[in-house]
């Protein structure tokens, strides 16, 4: 994907194609009138690696979703250190809590690779909440899954075993509710995974080798195939 960075991400936005629209998991839950309202407002933009979609302190104007690519959610502390919360692969929509409260972002969202990102204006987001039961259920499920995700992320942060950190982090990226576009194969490089889990690429490689030997994953060209998601989720510290 060749992306011109001479213009801002907002200036690069365009209407969605039919294929891009059909890849949005919640669009099929809407009535024909609701879907027409959403489609008229939805925009998509091509983000280059390093582009920032959301920045701490900026007001939320859109609810975002990943059509293709990989983003990361992180914050920077007073010492300039970055804490990465999670990656956001295809099919993932994020920021519903911030959009609900019309708050400023408390995190940064950055593209790790060339990505296509869709945005729904917060006014339309609230209109759908007021008019669509299906949309409400989708957002409620998102919030519930997101809560579990961040509780798990806090647990992962306290783990000193790299193999367990990588396993649990991979399991989070294969969440079928939050990231229905991933399927069984996650298109991710070892360097990208290293950014997300806070380890060196070499140590991530060792962890993936261990997980592959256990039969939990298979490393394929350009990505990872999960063979046993339950095993990844239940990884525990060795005794």
What CATH code is carried by the domain that includes residue 142?
2.60.120.10
Say whether both 32 and 135 belong to one domain: yes
Q: Give the pLDDT score at 3.
A: 52
Q: Give the pLDDT score at 156.
A: 63
Say whether both 146 and 113 belong to one domain: yes
pLDDT tens across the length of the chain (239 residues): 445 445 678 788 899 999 999 999 999 999 999 999 999 999 999 999 999 999 999 999 999 999 999 999 988 877 777 778 889 999 999 999 999 999 999 999 999 999 999 999 999 999 999 999 999 999 999 998 888 777 766 666 666 788 888 998 898 899 888 999 888 889 999 999 998 888 899 999 999 999 999 999 999 988 999 999 888 888 654 43
Residues 6+ away with beta carbon under 8 Å from 56: 75, 76, 104, 105, 106, 107, 108
89 located within any domain: yes
Q: Give the pLDDT score at 70.
A: 95
In angstroms, the CA 117 to CA 114 distance is 10
31 located within any domain: yes
Residues 6+ away with beta carbon under 8 Å from 213: none
Q: Beta strands 82-88 and 71-76: pairing type?
A: antiparallel
pTM for this model (two decimals): 0.84
Q: Give the pLDDT score at 153.
A: 65
Say whether both 96 and 58 belong to one domain: yes
13 located within any domain: no
Residue pair 105/58 in contact by the 8 Å Cβ criterion = yes
Say whether both 147 and 164 belong to one domain: no
**CATH number of residue 195's parent domain:** 1.10.10.10
In angstroms, the CA 188 to CA 7 distance is 27
Q: Which structural domain range is residue 23 located in?
A: 18-153
Integer CA distances (angstroms), 20 to 10, 56, 170, 190, in order: 18, 28, 25, 27
How many domains would you assign to the chain?
A: 2
DSSP 163-230: HHHHHHHHHHHT-TTT-TT-TTEE---HHHHHHHHTS-HHHHHHHHHHHHHHTSEEEETTEEEES-HH
Q: Which two tokens stand for residue 209?
A: 């080798």
Q: Beta strands 108-111 and 62-68: pairing type?
A: unpaired
Say whether both 83 and 184 belong to one domain: no
In the chain the first and final C-alpha atoms are separated, in Å, by 46
Which of 123, 153, 183 terminates a domain? The answer is 153
């Amino acid at each position: 994907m060749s992306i011109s960075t001479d213009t801002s991400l907002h200036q690069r936005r365009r209407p969605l194609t039919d294929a891009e629209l059909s890849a949005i998991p919640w669009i099929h839950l809407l009535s024909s009138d609701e879907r027409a309202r959403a489609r008229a407002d939805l925009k998509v933009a091509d983000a280059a690696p390093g582009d920032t979609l959301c920045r701490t302190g900026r007001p939320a104007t859109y609810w975002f979703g990943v059509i293709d690519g990989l983003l990361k959610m992180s914050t920077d502390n007073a010492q300039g250190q970055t804490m990465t919360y999670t990656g956001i692969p295809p099919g993932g929509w994020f920021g519903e809590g911030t959009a609900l409260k019309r708050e400023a972002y408390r995190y940064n969202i950055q593209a790790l690779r060339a990505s296509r990102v869709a945005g729904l204006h917060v006014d339309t987001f609230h209109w759908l909440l007021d008019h669509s039961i299906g949309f409400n259920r989708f957002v409620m499920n998102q919030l519930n899954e997101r809560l579990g995700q961040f509780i798990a992320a806090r647990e992962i942060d306290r783990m000193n075993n790299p193999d367990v950190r990588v396993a649990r982090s991979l399991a989070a990226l294969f969440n079928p509710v939050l990231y229905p576009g991933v399927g069984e194969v996650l298109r991710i490089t070892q360097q990208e995974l290293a950014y997300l889990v806070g380890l060196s690429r070499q140590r991530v490689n060792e962890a993936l080798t261990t997980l592959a030997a256990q039969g939990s994953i298979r490393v394929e060209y350009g990505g990872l195939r999960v063979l046993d998601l339950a095993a990844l989720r239940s990884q525990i510290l060795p005794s």
